[in-house]
A = this chain, B = another copy of it.
């Protein structure tokens, strides 16, 4: 049951696809308060045992209680525990306790969720704009509410199957030769690989939709060369368009009035990687169509995937900010060597980036309605990605493209995936990654993942091994790192054997992972689930944040502490522990419901098969192009007849709903003993 309440005159964010009538009932659950300035806020008194799920890409745990979150897309690489805003803004929460209720605040401006931060049991929701819509969702359980919500916001973006391959990135692989070498190093070490990313340096002067001729002299040819190796190249696209006379995108954007404008009608200017840029007005449908059409320049060169970056939008500074700083600076008399003044100057310079004041200084033309940016800030990266996605519907109507974004808002989940932005090579960020995945799924973001190994700071061998051991379960499995940090490609951190082995497990799992991902997409369901969603009656499972259900058959419990030899795991039912050393080397152990310590060496990946479930595995391969999905090995934990419906398609076309895409696996009693049955060739059955 979903009820809708409107406040002020909200713009249509496009988050919701169902047309719901405004409710005439008074709002239940939340207390609506109007403060002395006329602003709305909503409160709810939580019980001690209530859990608050949701918020998608946000800081801290699966249970969001005990902190304050300011949902406002922000470029925040230094994601320490105190940060309140991340790259995405996902205003959906589920209160789960004596009552279960979902709340979605549909608002393009910042929305603050104070979940027991200011007062321990008090939930406060504070939209920063007077214009917003609130959806209240009642349901039988948190999981039921999530599924209703997912229906409300529409089917999630569906990635091609090759995007489940391992992907390698770096800011930046500078030219053809470096990319070739990266691929060669993977292939020579038998480390599977499906894609290499091109970060900002592939462009000519950081100009979108250009390719440096010096670095990539014959780009289409090089794309094909890589394609022949089973490798896709994934170029980055930034939000800001370089101001440069003669640059097509700049000239057209000015001509068609497609850039965001200031009050005086001139185009808003901010500095990012290319220097001074204009921001395309992605909230304008014509501008979206125009910008989206430019992706064709690269798809024509054979490109099949993109990542949209810097689209919070991040700003290093604006001319207005610099002018203010220059003016202030003039009043400093440096000849006195006043150290206090120097600190003031330092703070002033730092403060130039991503200033709220700048976000308040430019405007969008939402197909006729002029809206100040800060009122729709969280819709910006969303609509950049929508621009690309809608263009792809024309450019390649029958073929899926890989597309994901840094900034996002609910609604964007229909157009692309996300990566979780610039994280760090910290063990705590591996844990953050684990806890965040189900929250993202609740908000519709299924194709997602973090920068494995961490973007900033220097990665260590053990951190990368443990992070990959989790990453093999995330749909987006990308190793990415920043300029200036230690090289963290799998062949750069000592003995490659263990990395190769961990990735071989991924490639054996792809049919299962892809199946469960697709089933989640097609059924508005989750790929990663908290244990509590599968075992709602289990009070102990309810508070577990570091174990996840992955699809219908398995549970994972990643190791995320340095020097740990394993970890504590709680089994909500009897399960079969499989410890993989590689796709083909495994140990099995049947474990009883309850508490266990699971030893897991650095090169081992434990997973747990649920009772009466099975896990199909294919042989590993060096890339998805070479995957053989005609033959399967089945690991099953059952003494009864069981079934598993595996989704399988060609991985690129869009006939998702074809019933032929369901492959049937069964364990059945045949001649007095259990055997595996499928249209697929079953090469081996491991039955427990």
Given contacts A80-B424, A120-B494, A342-B352, contact A562 B334 (CB under 8 A): no
The residue from B81, B322, B460, B545 contacting A342, defined by CB atoms under 8 A apart: B322
Complex: A276 Cα to B342 Cα, angstroms: 14
Q: Check if A60 sits within 8 Å of B426, measured CB to CB.
A: no
Q: Which of A132-140, A152-160, A343-351 contacts B (4 or more CB under 8 A)?
A: A343-351
Whether A565 sits at the interface, judged by CB under 8 Å, is yes
Closest Cβ neighbor of A456 among chain B residues: B82
User: Of A63, A346, A350, which is in contact with the most chain B CB atoms at under 10 Å from its CB?
Assistant: A346
Complex: A81 Cα to B460 Cα, angstroms: 12
Which residues in B have their C-beta under 8 angstroms from that of A597?
A: 540, 570, 595
Whether A589 sits at the interface, judged by CB under 8 Å, is no
Whether A392 sits at the interface, judged by CB under 8 Å, is no
**A487-519 interface mask toward B, CB cutoff 8 Å, 1 = contact, 0 = none?**
000000010000000000000000000000000
Interface size class of A (residues with CB under 8 A): 35 or more
Whether A427 sits at the interface, judged by CB under 8 Å, is yes
Whether A457 sits at the interface, judged by CB under 8 Å, is yes
Whether A207 sits at the interface, judged by CB under 8 Å, is no
Which residues in B have their C-beta under 8 angstroms from that of A51?
A: 563
Q: Which of A86-94, A238-246, A323-331, A476-484 contacts B (4 or more CB under 8 A)?
A: A323-331
How far does the Cβ of A467 sit from chain B's closest Cβ, in whole Å?
A: 13
Given contacts A66-B462, A80-B80, A562-B60, contact A349 B346 (CB under 8 A): yes
Q: Check if B317 sits within 8 Å of A562, measured CB to CB.
A: no
Closest Cβ neighbor of A461 among chain B residues: B120
Complex: A476 Cα to B540 Cα, angstroms: 35
The residue from B60, B334, B461 contacting A329, defined by CB atoms under 8 A apart: B334
Whether A458 sits at the interface, judged by CB under 8 Å, is yes
Which residues in B have their C-beta under 8 angstroms from that of A343?
A: 316, 349
Complex: A427 Cα to B81 Cα, angstroms: 8
Q: Check if B568 sits within 8 Å of A543, measured CB to CB.
A: no
Q: Check if B326 sits within 8 Å of A337, measured CB to CB.
A: yes
Which residues in B have their C-beta under 8 angstroms from that of A342?
A: 317, 322, 325, 349, 352
Complex: A564 Cα to B546 Cα, angstroms: 11
Complex: A572 Cα to B323 Cα, angstroms: 66
Given contacts A337-B322, A458-B82, A460-B117, contact A65 B563 (CB under 8 A): yes
The residue from B329, B563, B570, B595 contacting A63, defined by CB atoms under 8 A apart: B563
Interface positions, chain A 462-481, Cβ under 8 Å from B, are: 462-463
The residue from B323, B340, B424 contacting A82, defined by CB atoms under 8 A apart: B424
Complex: A460 Cα to B61 Cα, angstroms: 15
How far does the Cβ of A487 sit from chain B's closest Cβ, in whole Å?
A: 12
How far does the Cβ of A540 sit from chain B's closest Cβ, in whole Å?
A: 8
Which residues in B have their C-beta under 8 angstroms from that of A565?
A: 543
Given contacts A61-B563, A543-B563, contact A81 B428 (CB under 8 A): yes
Copies of this protein chain in the complex: 2
Closest Cβ neighbor of A319 among chain B residues: B337
Complex: A427 Cα to B460 Cα, angstroms: 23
Whether A255 sits at the interface, judged by CB under 8 Å, is no
Q: Check if B316 sits within 8 Å of A339, measured CB to CB.
A: yes
Whether A335 sits at the interface, judged by CB under 8 Å, is yes
Q: Check if B424 sits within 8 Å of A61, measured CB to CB.
A: no
Q: Check if B424 sits within 8 Å of A339, measured CB to CB.
A: no
Whether A651 sits at the interface, judged by CB under 8 Å, is no
Which residues in B have their C-beta under 8 angstroms from that of A427?
A: 81
Whether A378 sits at the interface, judged by CB under 8 Å, is no
Whether A20 sits at the interface, judged by CB under 8 Å, is no
Q: Check if A322 sits within 8 Å of B339, measured CB to CB.
A: yes
Which residues in B have their C-beta under 8 angstroms from that of A82?
A: 424-426, 457-458
Whether A275 sits at the interface, judged by CB under 8 Å, is yes
User: Of A116, A563, A597, which is in contact with the most chain B CB atoms at under 10 Å from its CB?
Assistant: A563
Whether A99 sits at the interface, judged by CB under 8 Å, is no
How far does the Cβ of A23 sit from chain B's closest Cβ, in whole Å?
A: 32
Complex: A178 Cα to B482 Cα, angstroms: 48
Which residues in B have their C-beta under 8 angstroms from that of A329?
A: 334
Whether A67 sits at the interface, judged by CB under 8 Å, is yes
Whether A311 sits at the interface, judged by CB under 8 Å, is no
Q: Check if A271 sits within 8 Å of B460, measured CB to CB.
A: no
Q: Check if B339 sits within 8 Å of A345, measured CB to CB.
A: no
Interface positions, chain A 587-603, Cβ under 8 Å from B, are: 595-597
Which residues in B have their C-beta under 8 angstroms from that of A545?
A: 561, 563
Q: Check if B80 sits within 8 Å of A462, measured CB to CB.
A: no
Which residues in B have their C-beta under 8 angstroms from that of A568?
A: 568, 595
Whether A119 sits at the interface, judged by CB under 8 Å, is yes
Complex: A564 Cα to B323 Cα, angstroms: 49
Complex: A329 Cα to B346 Cα, angstroms: 12
Which residues in B have their C-beta under 8 angstroms from that of A426?
A: 80-82
Q: Check if A326 sits within 8 Å of B335, measured CB to CB.
A: yes
Complex: A272 Cα to B109 Cα, angstroms: 41
Q: Check if A271 sits within 8 Å of B339, measured CB to CB.
A: yes
How far does the Cβ of A324 sit from chain B's closest Cβ, in whole Å?
A: 11
How far does the Cβ of A544 sit from chain B's closest Cβ, in whole Å?
A: 10
Closest Cβ neighbor of A348 among chain B residues: B346
Which residues in B have their C-beta under 8 angstroms from that of A570?
A: 597
Q: Check if B349 sits within 8 Å of A345, measured CB to CB.
A: yes
Closest Cβ neighbor of A542 among chain B residues: B565
Closest Cβ neighbor of A425 among chain B residues: B82
The residue from B116, B350, B561 contacting A346, defined by CB atoms under 8 A apart: B350
Q: Check if B275 sits within 8 Å of A339, measured CB to CB.
A: yes
The residue from B60, B428, B494, B562 contacting A66, defined by CB atoms under 8 A apart: B562
Known: A120-B462, A342-B352, A349-B349. 8 other contacts (CB 8 A): A80-B426, A275-B340, A322-B342, A325-B334, A346-B346, A346-B350, A543-B564, A545-B561
Q: Which 5 A-B pairs have the closest CB atoms?
A: A346-B349, A271-B339, A82-B457, A81-B426, A568-B568
Q: List 8 A-B contacts (CB under 8 A).
A: A67-B460, A82-B425, A120-B462, A271-B339, A276-B339, A317-B339, A428-B428, A570-B597
